[in-house]
Structure 1
Amino acid sequence: MKLVKHLANLGYGSRKDVQWMFREGRVTDAAGEVLYADDPLDHDNMRVDGEPLDLAPGVLLMLNKPAGHTCSMKDRGRIVFDLLPPRFRLRNPPLSTVGRLDRDTSGLLLLTDDGQLLHRIISPKSKLPKVYLATLAQDLRGDEAAVFASGTLLLESETTPLLPAELEVLDARRARLTLHEGRYHQVRRMFAAVGNHVDALHRERVGGLTLGDLPEGQWRALGEEDRVRLFAPA
C-alpha cells in the first residue's frame, strides 16, 4: 500500500480515492503498464492518467510573489498558494512558506515541505543575507546607511538592537537594503525609525539565490545546484 499512501500524500486524493484510481488502471509506469498498490515505489517512473507525478517530497520552490498576495492559508483574500497547482495545498507534509513576505511586498519567496531545510534557512546561525529594493515616500536624508550599519538601531517596542545592515542608495527615493536577520516588517520599521515610509518593497535575493528571469506570479522547483547556491558564502 506504499503507492496509495505516496499518492495521497502528494494530494491526489484521500487514500480511498487513490485506491479507486488503481482499480481503474489510471496509475501506470512510464511504459504504460498498469501498476498495483503493492508494487515497489519508484516515483520518477510512475504516471497518473499518463502524466508524471508531481514533485517528490522534499521540494524547494521559488516563487516570484506579486504584491497583494499573503503567505497565509487562512486569509480570505488572494494568497500565494493560489499561484501554485491546486493539488499542492493537499500535500502531506504540507508545503510552507520559508518565512513570510507581507501582503504589499513582492519578490523572491521560498516554499518547502522539508521542515529541517526550512529551519536551516531561517535559522539565525545561517546568516543568509536577504536583499530588498525599497521605494520611499520621501527623499533619503543622507545618514541612513550609517544608522543601519551601526548595529545600535532599536525598533519601536524592541529591546535588542538590529544587526548591522548595508544600505546602497540608488537615487533620492530608492535604496537597496541587505539584512542578516528577519524581524517582523523589518525593512518598513527600519525606514520608519529614520522618519521615512516605504511605498513599495521587493525582495531581490535570499542567500545566493535571485529570481533571474522568473516572471511575476510564476514559480519553479529548485534543484541541487540552486540549494548549494542558496547557502554559498557571499
Structure 2
Amino acid sequence: MKRRIDQILGNFGYCSRWQARRWINEGRISHNGVVLTDFSSKVEPRELLIDGEPIAFPDGMLILLNKPLGYVCSHESGEGPRVYDLLPPRWQDREPKVVSIGRLDKDTSGLLLLTDQSALVQRWTSPKHHVEKVYRATLDRELDPGVIGQFAAGIALRGEAKVCLPAALTIIDAKLAEVTLSEGRYHQVRRMFAACGYQVEALHRQRFGDIELGDLPEGQWRALPLPAAGS
C-alpha cells in the first residue's frame, strides 16, 4: 500500500516526520532511481531507498533471538536489561511496535521470537492452537523416572483449578530433562517441577513450534521468513 514518505520514515523508525522533510531536502531519499523532493509523495515502502539502502522489513518482521539470562521481555527500562536492547535501536521506534511472541522470564534463556505482526502473536500464543515449546531444565537433584508419568498425566499447579495439559518429559541425565508442552502458563515449567518436589536451577528454551534455536550464538538474532496466513 502506498504511503507518504514522511509517514514511512517515521513508522519504520528512521526519523521523525519533521526530520524526514530535512532528509528529503538533503537528497537522501530516492524511488526507482529518482531522488524525491516532495515529502508528501506516496510510494510503496518496499520501493523506497534511504541513502541507497532499502527499508528494513517493509512487509513486517519475524526475528529469532537467543535470549541471554538476565534480560526481560518488557519494553519498560526500569525492569532491567531488555531483549529489545539486543536489536538495532531503530527497531524500537517502529510502528506497529516490535513485541515478543510469548515471554521468557529473566532467569530463562534460549529461543525467543519477536515480531511487529499482531495477528502472528495472537495466533501463536492462543491456547486453542497448542503450539509446542521444548525446554531443557536443570534440576536441584536427581530425577525419579516416575516424574515422566506425572507430567504425562497432567500436573496440578498450586493456586489453579485447571490441571495442566499432558506434557512429555525425557530424562537426559541425572539432573537434566527435556520438557515438551503446548501451553504457556506463568512460569509453567518451574511450577510443574515444583509440584513434583524439584527446583529448576536453569531453564533454556530450544524450540517453539517448528522453529529451532540451532547454533545461533547467545545474544544474537536472525530474521525468519514470515509464515503464510493461517500457518
Q: TM-score, normalised by structure 2?
A: 0.92
Once superposed, which parts of structure 1, at least 4 consecutive aligned residues long, lie more than 3 Å away? none
| SS of corresponding position for 2:129 | coil
Structure 1: distance between partners of 2:103 and 2:164:
19
Look up the match of 2:215: 213
Look up the match of 2:103: 100
Cα shift at 1:125: 1.8
Structure 1: distance between partners of 2:75 and 2:46:
29
Sort the Cα spacing of 1:149 and 1:75 in 2 relative to 1 into closer, same or farther, 3 A.
farther
Alignment of 1:1-234 (within 5 A): 2-29=4-31, 31=33, 33-35=34-36, 36-76=38-78, 77-151=80-154, 153-224=155-226, 227=227, 231=231
Contact 2:135 2:180 (8 Å CA) reproduced: yes
Contact 2:12 2:95 (8 Å CA) reproduced: yes
Cα shift at 1:57: 4.3
Deviations 1:128-150 (A, max 9, x none): 10000011111112211100110
Unpaired runs of 5+ residues, structure 2, are: none
Contact 2:145 2:171 (8 Å CA) reproduced: no
Contact 2:97 2:116 (8 Å CA) reproduced: yes
State the superposition RMSD in angstroms: 1.7
Cα shift at 1:27: 1.0
Cα shift at 1:185: 0.3
Cα shift at 1:19: 1.7
Contact 1:57 1:113 (8 Å CA) reproduced: no
Q: Percent identity?
A: 47
Structure 1: distance between partners of 2:59 and 2:103:
21
Q: How many residues align?
A: 226
Sort the Cα spacing of 1:23 and 1:61 in 2 relative to 1 into closer, same or farther, 3 A.
same
Structure 1: distance between partners of 2:121 and 2:143:
35
| SS of corresponding position for 2:43 | coil
| SS of corresponding position for 1:37 | coil
Structure 1: distance between partners of 2:50 and 2:213:
31
